[in-house]
Amino acid sequence: MAKKKKILSDEELLALLAENPVLEENNEPPITSDLSEKTEKKFEKKLKYVNRKETLSKLLDKPAKINDKSKNISKSIKKNKIDAITVFRLPKSKSLSNNPKNNPIFLKFVQKIEHFLINDMLIDGTSKIVLAVSGGVDSMTLLDVMAILAEKYQFKLAVAHFNHNLRGADSNKDLEFVKNEAKEYGLPFYCASGKVKKYAEKNSISIETAARILRYNFFERVSRNFNADFVATAHTANDSVETFFINLFRGSGLTGLCGIPFRRQFIKDVLLIRPLIDFKKSQLIEYANIRNIKWREDSSNSLLEYTRNKVRLDLIPKLENDFNPSIVDVINRTTKLIQSADKIIHSYVKKHLSDVIENVSPDSFYINIPIFSTFDKFVQGEMIQTAFLKYFRLTPPTLAKIDRILDLIDSETGAFFEITKSITVAKDRNYLVFFKNFEKKDVNLIISKIGTHTINGYKINLQEVNKRQVKLSNSPNEEYLDFDLVPSLLYVRNWKEGDSFQPLGMQGTMKISDFLTNQKISFLERSKVLVLCSKNDIIWIIGKRINDKYKITEGTKRFLKIELIKL
């Protein structure tokens, strides 16, 4: 008896997203240089085992051999909170012996997919593939043809369906339909659901983007449960053309104009593949009719409020009617040429990116302006987009935003540009600093002259000491002041523009902003700098330098020791 389904809650999905960020569909890495070195070596090793002489007609009638691993699946499901049903044996209604083997359209279609899987992706009997199935004609065709080839080559399949909860009862019917079809094909079935609208509103993103993020995070968890080598989606040539136009309109770089790649690295040791990417939608419908495949139409595909639907239903038909009936083929040929050019450029950018990138952390990276300026402006833009995708795993900036970023090169230190609500870039002397926005903590405290105070993860200790206890050091976190010059009540606050003081050992005053620049304090660190002051005077830039007016001298009778201690 099948276990009762456990559907992921919205909170669980959001937690998964936080743990495992994913790439957006419109921002794919380059086609052939997107794989890790480990994956590339794996492909090279498997090449020697590929049998290129076997044909579809030879093995099409091999009996099904389905390994029931439902017990192992159940254990992994319980651990990872993703639903599955048991594996069923293939009934006569889906038997491969019923294939129309004499139909040339059917044979050509299957053979092309076979060539892609076996010769290009090097899939064999040990491979495990997760199929992303929505219930539409594209994904149901993918399910059918993959089932045919799985029976021939004995690779393992699983079906994954994500319920977006965007169409009420229809969304639930889609889930039940895909679940039943997975049962008909005798395949393990995984499902989950999420509150896409709620997530979109909470994160100020579009419904399309929210759905994609939650969906792909679900596929990632399924691939780990199933121990998959591949996740296959049903993107078509039409989808690739739509992506081309969407990226063209938003002003993407060269990579964005490559359309949808046939493969990319998904997570470690798992590739995302598109077996149907060279087929047009009309070819899939033709195949589905030949095989008597059932599917469900998504009513939201007809709503023009979505950008992709506008391109699909309005722009492309107009281009076909008014300019070229083969516009989909033309654009796809063009994207392949761009892919080749992008491959060369990406290799060049990848080779030189490490020359310009410094100080990489989970929340920031720096671009060395003097070295960066030696490259052509086009290459500079590609470097920024590549770095943005590599280090932040977010949508690369548009061309208009790239121009704004490059303008900072000739700006004064401190100039900045907010790329997105979450990412900012700032000019800091010889660097462009890209960083994730953080909430600045406003500090404005009144403290006593003697005592210990905890502020922002640090402890500030003030105590009176005698002359024999004064031990001067080079540490800026330990200073000595003339006790009698320091008022009883002190303030600890953020420094602000216009603040000035007389640095120890110098004549005259200096703006704190200039002092921090001279000390090469980074743009990010500046926002964290605090000052200890009286009502009208800066006494200590905490952890940096004291005011010369408060230093101890030969005439000092009482001594105040101040320390900054990290907790």
Q: Does some domain include residue 105? A: yes
User: Which of the four pLDDT bands, split at 50, 70 and 90, describes residue 30?
Assistant: very low
At 546, list the tokens.
């004291």
Q: What is the CATH number of the domain that holds 92?
A: 3.40.50.620
- Which of 23-27, 290-294, 356-360, 501-505 comes out lowest in average pLDDT? 23-27
The pLDDT assigned to 42 comes to 63
Q: Clarify whether residues 376 and 506 are in a common domain.
A: no
Summary mean pLDDT of the chain: 83
The pLDDT assigned to 365 comes to 95
At 98, list the tokens.
């019923």
Q: Give the model confidence (pLDDT) of 373-419 as tens digits.
A: 999 999 999 999 999 888 988 878 888 999 999 999 999 888 899 99
Mean pLDDT of 264-283: 93
Mean pLDDT of 202-228: 90
Q: Clarify whether residues 401 and 449 are in a common domain.
A: no
Rounded to the nearest 5 degrees, what angle is found at the Cα of 370, between the Cα atoms of 368 and 374? 110
What residues contact residue 560 under an 8 Å CB cut-off, 6+ apart? 449, 462, 463, 464, 465, 480, 481, 482, 483, 486
**Would you say residue 33 has pLDDT above 80?**
no
The pLDDT assigned to 45 comes to 58
Q: Clarify whether residues 48 and 93 are in a common domain.
A: yes
Count: domains in the chain: 3
Q: Clarify whether residues 310 and 402 are in a common domain.
A: no
Q: Clarify whether residues 476 and 430 are in a common domain.
A: no
The pLDDT assigned to 49 comes to 46
Q: Clarify whether residues 499 and 428 are in a common domain.
A: no
Q: Does some domain include residue 213? A: yes
Residue that terminates a domain, selected from 394, 412, 436: 436
User: Which of the four pLDDT bands, split at 50, 70 and 90, describes residue 40?
Assistant: low
**Can you give 367-382 as a three-state secondary structure string?**
EEHHHHCCCCHHHHHH
Q: What is residue 528's DSSP assignment?
A: T
Mean pLDDT of 312-330: 94
Q: How far is it, in rounded angstroms, from Cα 255 to Cα 244? A: 10
Q: How far is CA 310 from CA 44, 230, 269, 272, 303, in A?
A: 42, 31, 36, 26, 8
Q: Clarify whether residues 75 and 178 are in a common domain.
A: yes
Q: Clarify whether residues 239 and 362 are in a common domain.
A: no
Q: What is the CATH number of the domain that holds 358?
A: 3.30.465.60
For residue 36, the one-letter residue type is S
Q: Does some domain include residue 344? A: no
Q: How far is CA 188 from CA 45, 50, 74, 278, 378, in A?
A: 29, 27, 10, 27, 48
Mean pLDDT of 449-478: 91
Q: Clarify whether residues 254 and 288 are in a common domain.
A: yes
Q: Does some domain include residue 497? A: yes
Q: Clarify whether residues 102 and 124 are in a common domain.
A: yes
Q: Give the model confidence (pLDDT) of 247-264 as tens digits.
A: 899 888 788 888 898 998
Q: Clarify whether residues 79 and 220 are in a common domain.
A: yes
Q: Clarify whether residues 228 and 362 are in a common domain.
A: no
Mean pLDDT of 484-494: 94
Q: Give the model confidence (pLDDT) of 84-93 as tens digits.
A: 333 333 444 4
The pLDDT assigned to 34 comes to 53
User: Which of the four pLDDT bands, split at 50, 70 and 90, describes residue 320?
Assistant: very high
Phi, psi of 229 (to 5 degrees): -95, -25
User: Which of the four pLDDT bands, split at 50, 70 and 90, describes residue 36?
Assistant: low
Q: Does some domain include residue 23? A: yes
Domain that holds residue 483: 444-566
Q: Does some domain include residue 331? A: no
- Which of 52-56, 439-443, 517-521 comes out lowest in average pLDDT? 52-56
Residue that terminates a domain, selected from 301, 323, 345: 323
Residue that terminates a domain, selected from 323, 342, 370: 323
The pLDDT assigned to 482 comes to 95
Q: Does some domain include residue 341? A: no
Q: Does some domain include residue 523? A: yes
Percent of the residues in the chain that have a pLDDT greater than 90, as a whole number:
56
